[in-house]
């Protein structure tokens, strides 16, 4: 495993850039979660913030020469019965245009059915992963349990686990269910080769469920969670594992930098309403939404 130097003063987490050259550049990853189809931003009490067009502009300003690798911990879809399906589709494709390559699947993401998500993710070039969402009829995994990706000289394994509470019935009418993370962890980790440098978990679990998993399986280097059961700092350490919750609803851009000297940094960049929108992305969104 990579050993990292983490400053307690840092609020955000570093991300890796897909295809980052092995010429000494730091690896950068943009992390997101609980996006909820907010393609136009979050109409929050503090004002309209976020939005894919402003996000695209900020990404360009921060990384003018490259697009960072995007990881999402789930909750991308909009569940509004009026227009939610279209916004969900546009959110998936819009995030893909901005570098999203791997998404953990949250139960919310299956609202329109497994086929809807698989079709949209495949069309956008996004790999959907989950180790404990299974087909209720066959018992087979609905998605790939984990995937490997190389970033510069680093070899990463990315997996996903959704929250589970004993005693609750999880089988859904659309034919999927979830099993306890503990029941799949041993086989999952046995499948990940020892040559991997960095293991990343994407999840919707809160602090206490994560603590139980990390106490029994202290092998993860980074956890990205969409759970709202986090403090305002949105980051913490459990053992040697760095946990981060990206800003929900697209209200901010979170990225992590993995330096070549093994230090890890986590950053949050706000997307205020006055931030100029990327014109090409705004036009693409209008077309995508049929406006």
Q: Which domain holds residue 276?
A: 13-19+26-288
Instruction: Evaluate whether residue 7 is within a structural domain.
Output: no
For a pLDDT cut of 90, what percent of the chain falls above it?
Answer: 61
Alpha helices in the chain, H assignment, sequence order: 52-62, 84-97, 114-124, 182-191, 207-216, 279-288
Which residues does residue 237 pair with via DSSP β-bridges, in sequence order?
Answer: 242
- Kindly report, residue by residue over 14-72, the tens digit of the pLDDT: 333 333 333 445 678 999 999 999 999 887 776 668 899 999 999 999 999 888 899 99
Q: Give the DSSP per-residue string, 112-166.
A: T-HHHHHHHHHHHTPEEE-SSEEETTT--BSSBSEEEEEETTEEEEEEEE----T
Closest CA to 143 of 178, 167, 112, 171: 178
- Kindly report, residue by residue over 173-203, the tens digit of the pLDDT: 678 999 999 999 999 999 999 998 889 999 9
Instruction: Evaluate whether residue 8 is within a structural domain.
Output: no
Give the residue-averaged pLDDT of 161-174: 73
- How many domains does one find in the chain? 1
Which residues does residue 241 pair with via DSSP β-bridges, in sequence order?
Answer: 238
Token digits for 7? 């400053």
Instruction: Evaluate whether residue 268 is within a structural domain.
Output: yes
Query: 225 and 205 in contact (C-beta within 8 Å)?
Result: yes
Instruction: Evaluate whether residue 284 is within a structural domain.
Output: yes
Instruction: Evaluate whether residue 142 is within a structural domain.
Output: yes
Mean pLDDT of the chain: 85
Predicted pLDDT at 152: 67
Model confidence band, residue 168 (pLDDT cutoffs 50, 70, 90)? low
Model confidence band, residue 274 (pLDDT cutoffs 50, 70, 90)? confident
- For position 220, which CATH number holds? 3.60.21.10
Instruction: Evaluate whether residue 2 is within a structural domain.
Output: no
């Amino acid at each position: 495993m990579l050993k990292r130097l983490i400053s307690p003063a840092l609020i955000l987490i570093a991300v890796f850039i897909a295809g980052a050259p092995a010429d000494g550049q730091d690896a950068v990853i943009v992390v997101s979660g609980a996006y909820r189809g907010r393609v136009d931003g979050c109409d929050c009490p503090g004002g309209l913030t976020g939005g894919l067009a402003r996000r695209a502009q900020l990404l360009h300003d921060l990384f003018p020469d490259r697009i960072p690798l995007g990881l999402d911990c789930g909750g991308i879809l909009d569940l509004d019965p009026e227009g939610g399906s279209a916004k969900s589709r546009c959110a998936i494709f819009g995030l893909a245009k901005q570098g999203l390559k791997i998404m953990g699947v949250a139960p919310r993401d299956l609202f329109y059915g497994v086929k809807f998500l698989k079709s949209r993710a495949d069309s956008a070039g996004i790999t959907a992963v989950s180790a404990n969402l299974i087909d209720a009829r066959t018992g087979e995994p609905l998605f790939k349990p984990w995937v490997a990706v190389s970033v510069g000289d680093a070899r990463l394994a990315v997996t996903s686990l959704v929250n589970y509470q004993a005693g609750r019935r999880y089988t859904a009418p659309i034919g999927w269910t979830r099993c306890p993370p503990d029941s799949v962890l041993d086989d999952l980790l046995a499948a990940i080769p020892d040559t991997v440098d960095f293991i990343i978990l994407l999840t919707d679990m809160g602090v206490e469920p994560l603590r139980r998993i990390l106490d029994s399986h202290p092998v993860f280097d980074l956890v990205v969670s969409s759970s709202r059961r986090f403090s305002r700092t949105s980051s913490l350490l459990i053992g040697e594992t760095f946990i981060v919750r990206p800003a929900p609803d697209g209200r901010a851009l979170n990225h992590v930098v993995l330096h070549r000297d093994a230090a890890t940094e986590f950053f949050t960049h706000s997307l205020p309403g006055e931030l100029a929108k990327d014109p090409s992305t705004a036009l693409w969104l209008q077309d995508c939404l049929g406006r």
